[in-house]
Every structure is written in structure tokens, then in C-alpha cells.
Chains A and B, each alone.
Chain A
Amino acid sequence: MQDTVTTSALLDPSHSSVSTQDKSSTGGHTSSTSPQLSKPSITPVPAKSRNPHPRANICRMRRIIAEDPEWSLAIVPLLTELCIQHIIRNFQKNPILKQMLPEHQQKVLNHLSPDLPLAVTANLIDNENYWLRCCMHRWPVCHVAHHGGSWKRMFFERHLENLLKHFIPGTTDPAVILDLLPLCRNYVRRVHVDQFLPPVQLPAQLRPGDQSDSGSEGEMEEPTVDHYQLGDLVAGLSHLEELDLVYDVKDCGMNFEWNLFLFTYRDCLSLAAAIKACHTLKIFKLTRSKVDDDKARIIIRSLLDHPVLEELDLSQNLIGDRGARGAAKLLSHSRLRVLNLANNQVRAPGAQSLAHALAHNTNLISLNLRLNCIEDEGGQALAHALQTNKCLTTLHLGGNELSEPTATLLSQVLAINTTLTSINLSCNHIGLDGGKQLLEGMSDNKTLLEFDLRLSDVAQESEYLIGQALYANQEAARQRALNPSHFMSTITANGPENSVG
């Protein structure tokens, strides 16, 4: 993937620079560009023929060129070229772009330096090629697909991300970010920050002496551990759709300190206020940030009745049953489509409340409860909820200490439900009987496409048979996708193949 992106990115400028190489490649490409040069040498002739005495000119040129075939009077650049060169050189002081003809604009953009200050370029240049060059200039690896296919957006998003990553509260000037705000507000749709540095200077100096009583000092220093407050930034970005935050410190090395990884109450409150005020936010992710029940509830409360929020990811935190209950309330008070609570500490009561909310929910498509501990009680509750739910398509219950009772209920659900396409029950203790029951349930199901039962003590035979059923379903779905009108006949045609397989 990376290779393809880079190659394509590298190819593009080479194509565009072909037209402009006539001037710059005078010395370099002697052998390879000789056929190319014949063209520009001919083209000026008719242009010059309009002059009062073209014949004389040609004769004079011939005479002069005789010994040096590469030298020509036609090499003298056109006035437009000169003007464009000048504009490019003085673009920083006097940016002129919109007033020019489209082809001239193209030329200017192709030659502008990627190091121009953003204040000049941000709102003036929309050309993707320029921003592509900027990105390539700055970062070796670029996934433009992660940024909606827009290089400009990618540039601003990554630029902002860099600034945020290296922002140190108290030392870095907040104006650095706030100055950027008016420039990037129209382009940034996604903010992804996987590192928030704590205010570091003074504690770093004090740290060696205070190592012994860090527990008592930690509480004292609590206010100073606050990270950058996102409120102003989020309020300023008018098209912000995704917020992906990790309150974490990377590459701390031997400077490791528990305090570095704190997600404080004030952080939490300010973040909650910021996301509450942001009405365009669609995806909110807060992972690996030691969010406990109370903080989760604060954040979820701020998200209640949010107009457009679709995805909430609170995985890899410390959320327990109370937080899960809050999430359940959020399910019934928003249009959430994806909920991820993987690797938290949700137990049976939390799962039950989620199941209760899920029973009558019509928005949620995906629910991830991987690496929790909901056990059979929670699993049964969720299975009951799935009997009435008509919306959920993906359910991940891997590593939840589930066992046979949940499997029996789920097999009943499989027979009834027609919306679920993916279930993950890996790393549970389903057992042999549970596997058989699930196989029974699968025999009546025609919609499920994925069913993960690895490392869940299921007999090989039943797993294989379930895999066969899944394959049949996948085939049917594929046929349906290929030709929606004839999928009935294809299903009947696939029947014998399945029996053979």
C-alpha cells in the first residue's frame, strides 16, 4: 500500500514537470532530451515569422547556430514566462494567483516552494498538486486515503496533529495553535492525536528528589498535570467530524513516570465541554487514556442527544459497569451507529444494561465488547436483546468468559435474526455442546457472514461445518451483490455445490 502511494505520488510531479523542463534541463539531459528539444526549436519559428523580416532572422539564426546546434535565439524565454518566474519568486510578499489564466496558474503552482508560510497559501491555493508536494516534502509516508483523498486536508490535519503532539502546556505558546486556526478551520475534518505531553519542565527537575513520596506529591501536582485544553481548537474548527485522542506519552524511555499517563478531571471536563459544543462531530475516539467510570460518564453525558454523532470508541480504558450503563443510556439518546468498549472492565451488570438499551435500539450497527468480562449473565442478556433488535450487524464478544448457556441462547437468536452479519466469540469457553448448538442455529441462518469461534473449546467438526454454512452465506451475498435481481436463482444453483463441499 505504501509503495503504491509513494510511487504514484512520485510519478505525478514528473508528468507535470515535463512541460516546464525546457528551461531547467538545458544542461542535464543532453542525450535523452535531444528529440524533445527539436520541438521547442521549431515552434518559435512560426511565432517569429510574423515579425517584419523573418527571413533575415532565420538566416541570421542559421548563421549563428551553425557551430552550436543547441544554441538558439528562441531560448530567450517569453515575457509571460518571465512574469511567472517573478510571481513565483515574490509569491510570499505578493501572492497573485486568481487573476491569472488557468494555464499560468498551473505553472505558478508547479513551481511554488512547499516552504511558503501557511498564512499565504492556506486560503489561496486549492490545487491538490501543490499540497501533494508540500506533504511529500514534509513526511516520507503519506496515506492520503486516511484523509478523504484530499492532500490539502491531509497537510493541515497532520500539521495540526504535529503541533498538538508537541505542545507542552505552560511552555509552548498557545498562540501557535490558535494562529493556525483561521487558516485550517475549513479544511480540517479529523483530528487524530496519539500523544498529549504534560507540563514537564518543573516536575522533571524536581523528579529525582521526589521519587520517594511520589504518591503524595502526585495529588499535589494534579492541577499541573493537565494537558492541552482542546476547547478553543474544537470550537474553531467548523468542519470537524472526527476526534481521535489518546492521552498518552510516547517514547518516554527511561523517564517513565505514572504521572505522565494521567487523564485528569479537568482534561475530562474541558474535553466534554468541547465535544458538546461541536455539533458536526461524527466520530469520537478516546482510547488508551485510563478513562474510568466517572470520566466516562462525564464524557457520555456531554454526548447525550448529540445531533450527528455516529461512532463512539472508548476502547482500552478502565470503564466498568457504571460507564457501561452510561453508554447504554447514550444508545437510547443519540443516533450512535458504532460503539466500541473493547478491553475495558465491563462486567455482567453493565452488559445487561447495554442489552436492555439494545433491545429497542434502531441505530446501532456495531457493538464491540472485546476483552471484557461480561460472563454468561451479560451474554444471555445480550442474546435476549438480539431477539428483538433489528439493526445490529456486528457483534464482538471475544474474551468475555462466555460459556454454553450463552451459546444456546445465541443459537436461538441465529435462527431468528436476519440482520447480524458478523459475530465474534473467540477466546471464550463455549465448549463442545455449545458448539453443536451454535451449529444448529447456523443451519437456519442465511445472513451471517462471519462467525469467529477460535480458541473457544469448540469441536473441530462443528467449527468446520459452521465455516461451510458461513461460506454458503458469503457466496449468496456475493451473488446478491453481483446481480441483485437474480439472486434467488443463484442461491438455488449454489445449493448442490454447498452439499458437495
Chain B
Amino acid sequence: MNWLADGSGRPVSWKLAKLLLCGTELVTNIQVAIDIREIHRRVEEEEIKRQRIEKLENEVKTSQDKFDEITSKWEEGKQKRIPQELWEMLNTQQLHCAGLLEDKNKLISELQQELKTKDDQYVKDLKKQSDDICLLLERMEEQVKNVMKTFREELYNIEKAFEVERQELLASNKKKWERALQAHNAKELEYLNNRMKKVEDYEKQLNRQRIWDCEEYNMIKIKLEQDVQILEQQLQQRKAIYQLNQEKLEYNLQVLKKRDEESTVIKSQQKRKINRLHDILNNLRSKYAKQIKQFQEENQSLTSDYKRLVMQFKELQKAMRHFALIDDEKFREIWLMNEEEAKDLIARAFDVDRIIHTHHLGLPWAAPDFWFLNNVGPISQQPQKSATQIVEEMLMRSEEEEAEEATSEPESYLDLPKQISEKTTKRILMLLCDESGFLIESKLLSLLLPLEQNECYLLRLDAIFSALGIESEDDLYKLVNFFLKYRAHRLSSSLQIKPCSQASMEKASMEETSTRSELELAEQTEMEGEKEESLVEGEKEEEEETPPSPWVIHPNDVLKILEAFVMGLKKPRDSWAPLRVQKNVCDNSKDSEYWQALTTVIPSSKQNLWDALYTALEKYHLVLTQRAKLLLENSSLEQQNTELQALLQQYLNSKINSELQVPPTQVLRVPTK
């Protein structure tokens, strides 16, 4: 970079730039100067123009004034009559006009003077401009020359600097190169020496190696030759073995060929077999298809048969049901007929018995009381009453009992199980009805409002039963029993329910009904109260040990009892189906029992009695017949006697006597009759 800076320390480029800048400034200075001169000229021009215009305006104004004056004087002149005056005036006018013209001419000359000066100035300006241009050209040339010169110098400097630098660089590089060359030579020499040494070494090593290799080679050669011999021997052996093997293999090949032939034969056979089997398979397939078709047809026919049979079966069932009904009817009729017959017989037997008792034995006769005597119709066909029916019955009864007390009583009691009275049941049911209103639908309740109390109860109970799952009579009684047992549990003091309580209950109810009949349709609540009273009374009348009736059951307990009951009821329900089958069998046994019972309506003791009586009566009859005979004999004899007497008399009296005479054989014939 040293050549780039001159003595002052600034870079040469700065100098060049300054030169250029100064040069262009010098050149453009002329333009700027002309510009500013032009501006000055413009300003001056404007000023002069303004002055000129002002002057002209003033001039116009003054001349206008003068002109106006002149024109006004013309008017004046027209009025002048005296020629002298007119002439005078004209003269003055002429003077004025001349003055005006003079003014104008003066102005014109002034302006022309100005124009002339301007022209002069223009010429001067032109000259000046040409001078300027000359100067400009001069300066430009000078500038070009200067710049060229400086650039040349610079170039020269630069080249010189380059040359110097190049020389320096060359020298230094040469030095470096020589140094490097020397070092290289030395190294080369060293390498050469090293190489020579190494070559000698390697030669020695090579010789050694060669000798060693030769020995080794010989050894190996001998060894290998031995090996070759051995191998040749082995080869011979191998060859022999190969021969053998070849023969063997040839034999094997033959065998295999034969086998191959055989196998081809077998293959063909197998193929044939396969074909045959294929045929069979096809046949079987066709058969199978045929059979499928056949079976389908069969199946169809069978299904149609089956349908037909089903139809028939249904018809048969219908018929069977019909017949069963008819059979039932017949059975019933036959049963009734037979029963009637049997009952007739039994009645006769009883009559006979009674006659025997009263007439013959002279004993008082009491009619035997058997359950089957009241039975009408077959036992198995007696319908199961539903719970509601019973309740209805019960309720009906409780109302109607008054009217027909005696007649309905025995029947109604027959339905109830022994331990439970109708009253108790009713009480329990009432309680149930009052307490478990939640089981009834709200709609039903609204519908029930207008109905009578009894009907209301009935419908309510119906709903409750349906809710609890109570269907049959048995269930109802179970329920009632459950209530009673529960109560019994509670009152541990009076555990057992005596069978006699039933009787007492009956009595109590009877009494109650009688009281009710007396009271004649009092209000229900009062009635109930009365009932309680009466029942309490009845109880009191009976004994203290009799368990307290359902009124003892607190209404709050009802729900618990119901829950327990419903839980308990579920279990027996499961074994419902087998129960039914048993029932039928049971019925048959009952029937036979019934009939058996009918046969034994007259007990064997009585029959024995009858037998004994019969024998006795036989004996007695015999005696009596003997007596009658004897009596007859006696009477006949008497008659005979009399007749004979009459005959005798007749005979005696008449000749016919002799005819009327009856031989003694005839008389003897009558008692034998």
C-alpha cells in the first residue's frame, strides 16, 4: 500500500478525486457564474421593466390628461364666434398637440435609445458568452490535460510501485526457493543413503530367505511326492471301489427301471381305479342328489303330514275336550244316578235299620252323620273357589245371614278350615283392606267412592289380592293363618289355638248375628263396635285362654306381616305344577274312598247284628210259621169239624150229605199250601 500514499500520508485516490473535483468545479464555475449573472440580469431586467411600465403608465396618464384638455378645448372652440379668438385658440391647440407629440416622440426616442443600448448589451453579451465559451473550452482542455497528466503520473507511479514490489517479491521468492531447494537436496541425499543401506539389508535378507526357502521347498517336495504316492494308491483303491459301486449301481439301475415299469403299470392301474372311483363318485353324487331330492320331497310330505296330524291332533284335542266335557257330564250323570241309587239303597238301608231298630229291637235310632252323604256330584269336579268369591260370599253372608240364618249356616261353615272362623277372617280382611290401601290404584279409589261399603270392600280386597298374588281359597286361608300365627308368636303366653275355639267362635258368631238381627241395620262402625263387644263378651263367656282375635293385631303390624307373607308365599308357588298332578290322583282315590265309604255306610257290626237278628228272626219265623201252621191246622180242623158237623147234619139232613162229604185228604191239602 505504500505506493498508494504520497508524502502527506493521504491516499493517492484522494488526490485524484480532489483533482477531478477541482477541475470540474473550475469548469462548472463558468456555468454557475453565468447562471448568477443571468439571475442578476433577470432581476435587473424585471426592475427596469417595472420602471418602464410605470413610466409608460405615467406618460399615458399625463398624455391622456393633455389630450382630454385638448378635446375639451375643441368644444370650447366650437362656441367661439370670433375668428380671431378661434385662430388664437387653434394656435394654442396646435401648440398643445405639438407638445403632446413631442412628448410621445421623446418617449419613443428614449425607448429606442434603450433598445439600442440593449442591442449593444446583447452584442456585448454575445461577445462575453463567446469569451466564456472560449474560457470554458480552454479550461476543459487544461483539465483534460491535467487529468491526463496526473493519471499518467499515477499510472507510472503505480507501475513503478508494482515493479518494485514484484522485484522484492521475486527476490524473496528466489531466496525462499533456493533455501527450499537446498533443504530438498540435503534431504534427497539423506534419503539416497538410507535407501542404499536398506537395499543392502534387503539383499542380505533376500539371500537368507532364498536359502531357507530352497530347503523348505525340497522338504516339501519330498513330502508331497510321498503324499502323491499314497494318494495314487488310494486312487487305485478308489477306482476298484468305484468299479464295484458302478456295477452295483448298474444293478440298482436295472432294478429301479423294472420298478419304474412296475410303478408305471401300477400307476395306470391306479389311474383306472381313480377313473372308476370317479365314476362311482359321480354315480353316488347323482344318487345323493336324487336322495336329497327324495328326502326333500319326503320331508315335504312329512311336513304336510305333520301339519295334517297337528290339525288332526287339534281336532282330536277339541274332540277330546268335547268328550272330556261330555264324559264329565256323563260321569257326573252316572255318578249322580249311581249316587242316587246308592243313596236310595242307603236310605232303604237306613229305613230298614231304623225299622229294625225301632220295631224290632225297640231301640232309639239315630241317623248316622257322614260327610259323603251330603255330597252331590263327583268330588273331583268340585270347583275351587277363588279368594274373592269366598270373600264375597263371606260378605254377602254377613249381610244376609240375618234373613236366612239357619239354612246357610251349616253350608258356610263347611268351606272354612277348622281353626279359623269366618268372623276372624273377616276382621283380618277388613284390617288388611284399611291398612294396605297403597296397593290399590288411585283411579280405582276414585271410582269406588260412590259405591256401597261392602262392594267397596270387595273391590278393594280384589285389587289387594291381585297385588299380593293371592288367587285361590287356599291362599286366602294361608294368609289368614299367617296372621293368626303371627299374632300367636307375639303372644307367647297363649300359644296354642285350640280346636275348640272354633266352636266357640261359631257360637259367638251365631250370637253376634242374632244380636245384629236385633239391632236391625245399624251403622257399620257402630256395628263393628258392637261386634267387638259381643265378641269380647263371647270370649269372656267362653274362657280367658282363647287367643285374642285379630283386633289384637295392631294395624301397624299389618304391613310387616304382609311382607313376611309375600316372602313366604313365593316358595310354595314354585312347586305348583307337580301339585296339580297329585291332586288328580288324589281325587281318584277320594272317589274310590267315597264309593268305598258308601259301601260301608252300614257298619259290619250292624250287619252282624242284622245277621244275628235275621237268624233269630228266621228262627222266630220258623216258630211262627209252625205256629201258623198249627193254627191253620187247628182252624181247618175246627172247620172240618164244623163242616163235618154240618155235613153230618146235612147228611144227616139230606141226601146230599153223602155228596158233600169231603174226604179227609182234601182237608189235609190246605195247610200245605
A497 on interface, CB distance cutoff 8 Å:
yes
Q: With A399-B39, A471-B17, A474-B17 in contact, is A455–B32 under 8 Å at CB?
A: yes
Closest CB-CB distance, A421 to chain B, in whole Å?
15
Q: Which residues of A contact B29 (CB under 8 A)?
A: 454
A370 touches B10 (CB 8 A): no
Q: Which residues of B contact A455 (CB under 8 A)?
A: 32-33, 36
Closest CB-CB distance, B612 to chain A, in whole Å?
161
Q: With A454-B29, A497-B10, A501-B10 in contact, is A371–B35 under 8 Å at CB?
A: yes
B57 on interface, CB distance cutoff 8 Å:
no
A470, closest chain B residue (CB): B21
Number of A-B contacts defined by CB within 8 Å: 35
A426 touches B17 (CB 8 A): no
Which residues of A (410-447) have their CB < 8 Å from a CB of B? 426-427
A405 to B10, CA, bound (A): 37
B341 on interface, CB distance cutoff 8 Å:
no
A398 on interface, CB distance cutoff 8 Å:
yes
Q: Which residues of B contact A370 (CB under 8 A)?
A: 35
Interface string of B2-26 (1 = CB under 8 A from A): 0000000111011001000000010
A399 touches B14 (CB 8 A): no
Q: With A454-B29, A471-B17 in contact, is A399–B10 under 8 Å at CB?
A: no
B35 touches A399 (CB 8 A): yes
B85 on interface, CB distance cutoff 8 Å:
no
B10 touches A426 (CB 8 A): no
A371 touches B25 (CB 8 A): no
- Give the residue of A427, A474, A475, A500 whose beta carbon is less than 8 angstroms from that of B35: A427
A370 to B38, CA, bound (A): 12
Q: Which residues of B contact A398 (CB under 8 A)?
A: 32, 35
Q: Give the interface size class of chain B.
A: 10 to 19
A501 to B5, CA, bound (A): 14
Closest CB-CB distance, B414 to chain A, in whole Å?
126
Closest CB-CB distance, B398 to chain A, in whole Å?
118
B32 touches A427 (CB 8 A): yes
A497 to B13, CA, bound (A): 13
Task: Name B's interface SS.
Answer: helix
A317 to B394, CA, bound (A): 142
A427 touches B10 (CB 8 A): no
A266 to B32, CA, bound (A): 36
Closest CB-CB distance, A495 to chain B, in whole Å?
14
Which residues of A (467-499) have their CB < 8 Å from a CB of B? 471, 474-475, 478, 497
A371 touches B32 (CB 8 A): no
Q: Which residues of A contact B32 (CB under 8 A)?
A: 398, 426-427, 452, 454-455
Q: Which residues of B contact A500 (CB under 8 A)?
A: 9
Closest CB-CB distance, B57 to chain A, in whole Å?
21
- Give the residue of B10, B13, B17, B38 whose beta carbon is less than 8 angstroms from that of A371: B38
A474 to B16, CA, bound (A): 13
- Give the residue of A426, A427, A454, A471 whose beta carbon is less than 8 angstroms from that of B14: A471
Which residues of B (366-384) have their CB < 8 Å from a CB of A? none
Which residues of A (192-214) have their CB < 8 Å from a CB of B? none
A123 to B497, CA, bound (A): 151
A399 to B28, CA, bound (A): 14
Interface string of A78-120 (1 = CB under 8 A from B): 0000000000000000000000000000000000000000000
Q: Which residues of A contact B38 (CB under 8 A)?
A: 371, 399
A500 to B36, CA, bound (A): 35
Q: Which residues of B contact A371 (CB under 8 A)?
A: 35, 38-39
Q: Which residues of B contact A452 (CB under 8 A)?
A: 32
Q: Which residues of B contact A426 (CB under 8 A)?
A: 32, 35
A500 to B5, CA, bound (A): 14
A451 to B29, CA, bound (A): 14
A371, closest chain B residue (CB): B35
Q: Which residues of A contact B17 (CB under 8 A)?
A: 471, 474
Q: Which residues of A contact B11 (CB under 8 A)?
A: 497
Q: Which residues of A contact B25 (CB under 8 A)?
A: 454
Chain A interfacial positions (CB closer than 8 Å to B): 370-371, 398-399, 401, 426-427, 452, 454-455, 471, 474-475, 478, 497, 500-501
Listed from nearest, the 5 A-B pairs whose CB atoms lie closest are: A427-B36, A399-B35, A427-B35, A454-B32, A426-B32
Chain B interfacial positions (CB closer than 8 Å to A): 9-11, 13-14, 17, 25, 28-29, 32-33, 35-36, 38-39
Given A427-B35, A501-B14, 16 extra CB contacts under 8 A: A371-B38, A398-B32, A399-B38, A426-B32, A427-B39, A454-B32, A455-B32, A455-B33, A455-B36, A471-B14, A471-B17, A475-B14, A497-B10, A497-B11, A500-B9, A501-B10
Pick 17 A–B contacts, CB within 8 A, sort by A: A370-B35, A371-B35, A398-B35, A399-B39, A401-B39, A427-B32, A427-B39, A452-B32, A454-B29, A455-B32, A455-B33, A474-B17, A478-B13, A497-B11, A500-B9, A501-B10, A501-B14
